[in-house]
Amino acid sequence: MNSLREIMPRMMKSIGLEKRYRDEMIILNWRQIVGEEIAANTRPGKISRRVLTLAAKNAVWAHHLSTLKEEIIAKINTYAGEKAVSDLKFQAGYFRNDQNENKDEDELPAMNWREVRLENSEKKAIETMTAPLADDLLRAKMKRLLSKEITFRKFRRRQEWQPCRKCGVLRPAGDDLCVTCAAEIRAAGRDSIRKLLRDAPWLGYEECARYIPCRRSDFAAARDEVAEALLTAAARDVNDPVALPLLTMLLYKAGPQAITEEMIANTLEKVRRKSNVPASRR
């Protein structure tokens, strides 16, 4: 089967709606992707930051689907021809009927966006972009979606909105990144901070920022996550030769040569309180 990227008209990409088109096609072709049984007991919601919210018929089905998560994600990404979804969020009970409707109009002023009119050339472009869709209902859905998206884009340009420097989505003037791209970049930064602290747990914010530009709040959150992971590992095995020293260096912001037996003992006490392990570690 050809991927969405292969069958998508080039014009769709040129106006910056490739991701939106891909996500809508996943939702609209849900039955084809997951099969009759799963489709009959689920209803796909919005895809946000590569997380698909999936409503299940009931709690039993939600649990069953959680055991099939990796399989479902693989089917979605095979259909899309790329990594469109990285996780599923399950909810028991169906969404309301308008779950997949675009809510972008909520971002816009109540004034006159509906007064924006499409040019004949834009209407023809929509016809061209939806022509590959054989199903009449899907084609009608995409026409409505594209008409709304292009209308919003025209309205936003009139309001002097600027493209996100990463994905091209229009954002209010002064915003360098859209909300989604900003969140993705911050998440990637926090991942880099965690990796750095695994190698050099004694680093403080100022030292870390020399290597990885970041907000102080992101550094603190990443540091807390590393501390919790090391604390859990040490509580699981107090004789772990790695976790306890790393945790000590992290808590005291002290390098390998600076940590003392007293520091290690104090850290071990924190581990004991978490795990209720016996007092003696040897």
186 and 245 fall within a common domain: yes
Residue 220 lies in a domain: yes
Between 119 and 8, the more confident residue is 119
What is the arrangement of strands in the sheet containing 42-48, beginning at the earlier edge strand? 42-48, 51-56, 87-92
Of 52, 74, 97, the residue that ends a domain is 97
What whole-number distance in Å separates Cα of residue 261 and Cα of residue 72? Answer: 50
Give yes or no for residue 103 having a pLDDT over 80: no
30 and 51 fall within a common domain: yes
* Greatest C-alpha distance within the chain: 80
User: Which residues lie closer than 8 Å to 232 by C-beta, 6 or more apart?
Assistant: 274
1 and 92 fall within a common domain: yes
208 and 257 fall within a common domain: yes
What whole-number distance in Å separates Cα of residue 237 and Cα of residue 257? Answer: 23
Which tokens hold the place of 35?
A: 């099969």
Give yes or no for residue 128 having a pLDDT over 50: yes
**Residue 51's closest CA among 76, 21, 34, 28?**
76
pLDDT, one tens digit per residue, over 177-211 is 877 788 888 888 999 999 999 999 999 999 999 99
Neighbours of 61 (CB within 10 A): 17
pLDDT of amino acid 98: 38
State which H helix or E strand residue 279 sits in: none
Residue 280 lies in a domain: no
| Main-chain phi, psi angles of 43, to 5 degrees | -145, 115
Signed CA dihedral, 10, 15, 19, 23: sign only: negative
Give yes or no for residue 96 having a pLDDT over 50: no
What whole-number distance in Å separates Cα of residue 121 and Cα of residue 116? Answer: 15
Give yes or no for residue 144 having a pLDDT over 80: yes
Query: 83: which DSSP letter?
Result: -
190 and 260 fall within a common domain: yes
pLDDT, one tens digit per residue, over 59-81 is 888 888 889 999 999 999 999 88
Give the chain's end-to-end CA distance (angstroms, integer): 60
Across residues 104-113, what is the average pLDDT?
A: 48
Of 97, 118, 137, the residue that ends a domain is 97
Q: Where does the chain have alpha helices with state H?
A: 4-7, 10-14, 18-28, 30-34, 36-40, 59-67, 69-80, 120-130, 136-158, 179-199, 205-211, 216-236, 243-252, 261-275
What whole-number distance in Å separates Cα of residue 205 and Cα of residue 260? Answer: 23
pTM equals 0.50
93 and 119 fall within a common domain: no
Residue 281 lies in a domain: no
Residue 170 lies in a domain: no
Query: 95: which DSSP letter?
Result: P
241 and 188 fall within a common domain: yes
Range of the domain at 67: 1-97
What whole-number distance in Å separates Cα of residue 191 and Cα of residue 65? Answer: 28
Residue 137 lies in a domain: yes
- For residue 79, give the CATH number of its domain: 3.30.300.180
220 and 263 fall within a common domain: yes
Residue 187 lies in a domain: yes
Give yes or no for residue 158 having a pLDDT over 90: no
Judge contact between 54 and 45, C-beta under 8 A. yes
- The chain-wide mean pLDDT, for the chain, equals 80
What whole-number distance in Å separates Cα of residue 105 and Cα of residue 264? Answer: 56
- Residues of the chain with pLDDT > 90, as a percent, come to 30
- What is the domain count for the chain? 3
Residue 57 lies in a domain: yes
127 and 89 fall within a common domain: no
What whole-number distance in Å separates Cα of residue 273 and Cα of residue 277? Answer: 8
Query: 46: which DSSP letter?
Result: E
Across residues 254-258, what is the average pLDDT?
A: 92
Give yes or no for residue 245 having a pLDDT over 80: yes
Of 97, 116, 142, the residue that ends a domain is 97
pLDDT of amino acid 34: 93
pLDDT, one tens digit per residue, over 266-280 is 998 888 887 664 444
Residue 167 lies in a domain: no
218 and 270 fall within a common domain: yes
Which tokens hold the place of 143?
A: 């026409």
141 and 218 fall within a common domain: no
244 and 216 fall within a common domain: yes
